[in-house]
Amino acid sequence: MLHQFYPQVPHEYRYELNKDMHLAAAHFIPSEAAGKCQDIHGHTYVINITVAGDQLDSSGFLIDFKILKSLIHRPFDHTLLNDHELFSNEEDSWSFPTTEVIAGKFWKLIQSELNELAHQPKCVQLLVRETPTSYVVFRPKKEDFAI
């Protein structure tokens, strides 16, 4: 499903980059309402990350594509998402890995990294496709950037 077109996010930045990646991972949803999804099962998630900004770094990058991949693919590929602390914090009522929660938490991981950069790029959209017929788009609000 790579190379497809994704929903566009309106913004006024000069540059916008998009990085796609696949993530083979298992999960389960510990909620009765989830029906058969309460049992462990797997997906080949498709992740699309959109980063925008007005300035580039000394390499001419908004952010190196490889860094984006390393933040998501390396830690989560071929894992059970529920095993990660990110998706198992009992104090956080939206912690377990629904597509919505995955999108929001992956956005936060990426934006935390971008916040360290002097030229301050922004992750303006994060899309998670869970199945050929289901995907979620996370678009941060202004206040979400204060992390």
Ligand X SMILES: Nc1nc2c(c(=O)[nH]1)N=C([C@H](O)[C@H](O)COP(=O)(O)OP(=O)(O)OP(=O)(O)O)CN2
121: exposed, middle or buried (C-beta count within 10 Å: 0-12, 13-18, 19+)? Answer: buried
- Number of residues this chain uses to bind ligand X (CB under 6 A): 9
Contact segment (CB under 6 A) with ligand X among 8-16, 65-73, 110-118, 129-137 equals 129-137
Dist CA 140 CA 93 (whole Å):
19
Site string for ligand X, 70-109 (x = CB under 6 A): ----------------------------xxx---------
Active site residue 41: no
Residue of 145, 89, 100, 147 lying closest to 126 (CA atoms): 100
- Residue 97 identity (one-letter amino acid): P
**Counting every residue, how long is the chain?**
147
Q: Does 131 bind ligand X (CB under 6 A)?
A: yes
Active site residue 78: yes
Q: What's the min distance (Å) between Cβ of 49 and ligand X?
A: 18
Tokens of 51: 């980063």
Marked catalytic residue, from 16, 22, 37, 113:
37
Active site residue 130: yes
Name the pairing type of β-strands 15-27 and 79-80.
Answer: parallel
Q: What's the min distance (Å) between Cβ of 39 and ligand X?
A: 10
Residue of 109, 102, 87 lying closest to 138 (CA atoms): 102
Active-site amino acid positions: 37, 78, 130
Interface residue list for ligand X (CB under 6 A): 29, 37, 98-100, 130-131, 133-134
